[in-house]
Amino acid sequence: MSVIRIETDNKSVQKVETKCIEVELLKEYDAYLSLKIVEKLYESQLITAEEKQQLNNKIIEHFTPYYLSII
């Protein structure tokens, strides 16, 4: 069995970690905003309760693979 050693400086590792956290937060924020938009459409009576539920389900389905990957 061979071992591969990759050496890097801490700044490079920190940049990668920061970028990953940033991407996670953006996806979480996208999901939150999408659900809030649907809520506002419903409150403004622009969509019905059934349409609201359908849209919420589509949003959840869209973001579920992302959330399952980080759990």
**pLDDT at residue number 67:** 56
C-alpha–C-alpha distance, residues 17 and 23, integer Å: 10
C-alpha–C-alpha distance, residues 20 and 9, integer Å: 17
pLDDT tens by residue, the chain, 71 residues: 565 555 666 666 667 667 767 777 788 888 889 999 999 999 999 999 999 999 999 988 888 775 555 54
In our burial notation (b when 16+ CB lie closer than 10 A, e otherwise), range 32-43 reads eebbeebeeebe
C-alpha–C-alpha distance, residues 16 and 21, integer Å: 9
